[in-house]
Amino acid sequence: MSVVGVTPAVVFDLDDTLYPERDFALSGYRAAVGALDLPPELASVAFDAMAAALDARGNPFDALAAAVGARIGARDGIRRLVGIYRTHFPDIRLPWPSLDILRRLRASGIATALVTDGRSLTQRNKIAALGLGRFFSPGSIFISEETGHPKPDPDSFRRIMELYGRHRHYIYVGDNPVKDFIAPNTLGWTTVALRDSGSNIHRQPLVYGSPCSPDVVIESLSQVRSLLRPDFMEKRKLSVGF
């Protein structure tokens, strides 16, 4: 990956960008159901009910209560299970395109950062489970519960520009047009949406030409490499849309 002229910095969202958030959800359901100590067949019914609710965009914990309510107990039973879901150490992995691009960026010495919304412990567990400490320095990870600035607040993006300098070519790769691209668009970054393959947790209403719109839509993170070509960086926003 050779970059001439402009020095880029590539910043990533976490959930449904570097890995499928559905995998975290299913891992959390397994942890919650596991805590109920159910007979195996009932545990399977309970897990399937939660997964079906996720796919139907319903509430998985309501589905769990409907499936095995008597085993959960009073209302704080659900609260306890939600706590287990949020704090469990997830069984998730980096997909190959994520691992590959992060390795290439690291090998090329290209600056990276992570901007993600969520609870500190939940996001820290995901970062550890995915092994992202190899690719992002501690000072380049911005988690909204820690910063107090969830997207679309520009604070974390501004801090990254202070970290790496204002004259870089900044790229933000995310998935959610509702909040991911507004602040980096305002700051003059190139914004890149990874297209939903069909299993994203949040819907992806992609429209052209709004302040929420990404500059580019890619089908795979492996395409980030082509965004770092000098000719692309010079022509960005002039000719590339979707």
- Judged by DSSP in three states, 129 sits in helix
Q: Which is nearer to Mg ion, 15 or 23 (CB)?
A: 15
- Judged by DSSP in three states, 95 sits in coil
In angstroms, what is the minimal distance from the CB of 174 to Mg ion?
A: 6
In angstroms, what is the minimal distance from the CB of 200 to Mg ion?
A: 8
In angstroms, what is the minimal distance from the CB of 238 to Mg ion?
A: 27
- Judged by DSSP in three states, 218 sits in strand
Q: What are phi and psi of 155, to 5 degrees?
A: -55, -50
Q: Which two tokens stand for residue 139?
A: 């000072």
In angstroms, what is the minimal distance from the CB of 179 to Mg ion?
A: 9
Q: Which two tokens stand for residue 176?
A: 């959610």
Q: Which one of the spans 11-19, 75-83, 100-108, 132-140 is the region binding Mg ion (CB under 5 A)? A: 11-19
Torsion of CA 141, 147, 152, 158, to 10 degrees: -70
Q: Do the Cβ atoms of 1 and 103 come closer than 8 Å?
A: no
Helix (H) or strand (E) holding 30: helix 21-34
Distance from C-alpha of 242 to C-alpha of 207, rounded to nearest angstrom: 9
The answer to the question of residue 13 lying near Mg ion (CB under 5 A) is yes
Q: Cβ neighbours of residue 38 under 8 Å, at least 6 residues apart? A: 46, 68, 71
The answer to the question of residue 215 lying near Mg ion (CB under 5 A) is no
Q: Which is nearer to Mg ion, 26 or 63 (CB)?
A: 26
Q: Which is nearer to Mg ion, 33 or 112 (CB)?
A: 112
- Among 13, 28, 134, 22, smallest CA distance to 90 is for 28
How many residues touch Mg ion (CB under 5 A)?
Answer: 5
Helix (H) or strand (E) holding 230: helix 230-235
In angstroms, what is the minimal distance from the CB of 201 to Mg ion?
A: 8
In angstroms, what is the minimal distance from the CB of 45 to Mg ion?
A: 30
The answer to the question of residue 117 lying near Mg ion (CB under 5 A) is no
In angstroms, what is the minimal distance from the CB of 13 to Mg ion?
A: 4
Instruction: Pick one of 10, 15, 18, 190: the residue that binds Mg ion (CB under 5 A).
Output: 15
Interface map 174-203 toward Mg ion (x if CB under 5 A): -xx---------------------------
Distance from C-alpha of 1 to C-alpha of 15, rounded to nearest angstrom: 25
Q: Which is nearer to Mg ion, 49 or 175 (CB)?
A: 175
Q: Which is nearer to Mg ion, 67 or 117 (CB)?
A: 117
Binding site for Mg ion (CB under 5 A): 13, 15-16, 175-176
